[in-house]
A and B are shown apart, each in its own frame.
Chain A
Amino acid sequence: MASTTAEPRRPAVGPARRPGFVGWFDPRGRRLGGIAFLVNRITGIGLVVYLYLHLVILALLAQGPTAWDTFIEVALSPPFLALDVILLAGILIHGLNGIRVGLVGLGLVASRQRALFVALMAIAALVALAGGLRIFTAG
């Protein structure tokens, strides 16, 4: 017979999509294009955060050569280089997906969004891989 759960229950699969802000970031039930939208938003916000941090760090230059050299030492450590690879991947994913949004969004290639996304993300993966190798092996 029916059993009532008054407590908010989180079902094992596909619960209610949340309304509002949190709903944007809920990947459940999403298909490829929905994931593309989500990833574009996350990388876009990530890039804004990076830009801000970048400017903050550049402000170190105003504190003279010692502060800057200490930072550069940290920046060349492997964990920091890994962040560089993540940044590169983020730029590639966001920028290449942006090309998809531009082409499809203006009705230029109206119904090929899936194929475009897959192809552009394959390019992103290859370039990120190559760039990652270079970042860790160069210098």
Chain B
Amino acid sequence: MTETAPALRTTRFVVSRRKEGDDPGALRYDTYDVAVGPRTTILDALVAIRRHLDPGLTFRHSCFHASCGTCGMRVDGREGLACVTPVPSGAEVVVEPLANLPVVSDLVVDMEVFYEAFDEAGRPLVRASESVPGSTPAEGIEELERYEDCIECGICLSACPVAGSDPRYVGPAALAAAWRVVEEPRGRDPGPVVRLMDDEQAAWRCHLAWECSEACPSGVDPATAIMRIRRSAASARARRLFSFGGTR
């Protein structure tokens, strides 16, 4: 059987080339013409640019299949994982680093502050409550573990308009992680986590733009988690209020 490869078209990639320390107001883009097919992803095209046109272009990736969370960036202004974002059909596509985090080089941002925010929540990683549904472990394997959904890609933080205007905001991913600790404490007392998130720069900073939940590539739904933390925090406060001065 002979298969014919689908016809290629040329897409112009407009790629942000800012470096650490550049004036934040000064935008700089380079343009590259790349031949793409119907299933070419943004990451495929970036790899092709680096290989054939500009070895100096910097971007981050690892797994190529939406698991490692390192390739988050903005494509035509919308956040996505480059490895699973198809090249849009237009003649030109704009590729930029995630917003709301400092740029290191080109499409690479400094994730340190983003990762640090998880520490407050105690960084839940493995779900005790679920194994992979319907799975049969292979021979020699006792049990399959189910990881938390969040792949720590930073996309939600980039999409959040509040994080854009106030760098002190803890951000959606850390709040979602905190809620997972409340939902499934795994032997810990979730009280301190709720109290930590019951703060004007945490759960109460959200203005319900819901961009995080819309943008998350992993189904985490941080916005709903934030609202649940609020409800927990508000009822904890109410309980404290009404037990104050009451009979003991």
Interface positions of A (Cβ within 8 A of B): 1-6, 8-17, 19-21, 23-24, 28-34, 36-38, 40, 100-101, 104-108, 110-111, 113-114
Contacts and interface: CB of A to CB of B under 8 A. Distances in A.
A100 B30 CA distance: 43
Nearest first, the 4 A-B pairs at minimum CB distance are: A14-B77, A107-B231, A33-B210, A29-B77
Interface string B72-99: 0011111000000000001010101001
Contact of A17 (B14, B77, B92, B209): B77
Contact of A34 (B30, B53, B210, B221): B210
A13 B94 contact: yes
A104 B208 contact: yes
Contact of A105 (B75, B94, B208): B208
A107 B54 contact: no
A19 B164 contact: yes
A32 B14 CA distance: 27
Nearest to A110: B227
Quick one: which of A2, A4, A17, A23 has the most chain B CB within 10 A? A2
B77 A111 contact: no
Interface of B: 14, 16-17, 24-32, 53-54, 74-78, 90, 92, 94, 96, 99-100, 161, 164-165, 206-211, 214, 221, 223-224, 227-232, 234
Nearest to A31: B214
Nearest to A5: B29
18 contacts: A2-B31, A5-B30, A9-B27, A15-B77, A16-B99, A19-B99, A21-B165, A23-B165, A32-B210, A36-B208, A36-B209, A101-B208, A107-B228, A107-B229, A107-B234, A110-B224, A110-B228, A111-B221
Given A17-B77, A31-B211, A37 B16 contact: no
A36 B25 CA distance: 27
A17 B94 contact: no
A46 to B, nearest CB: 17
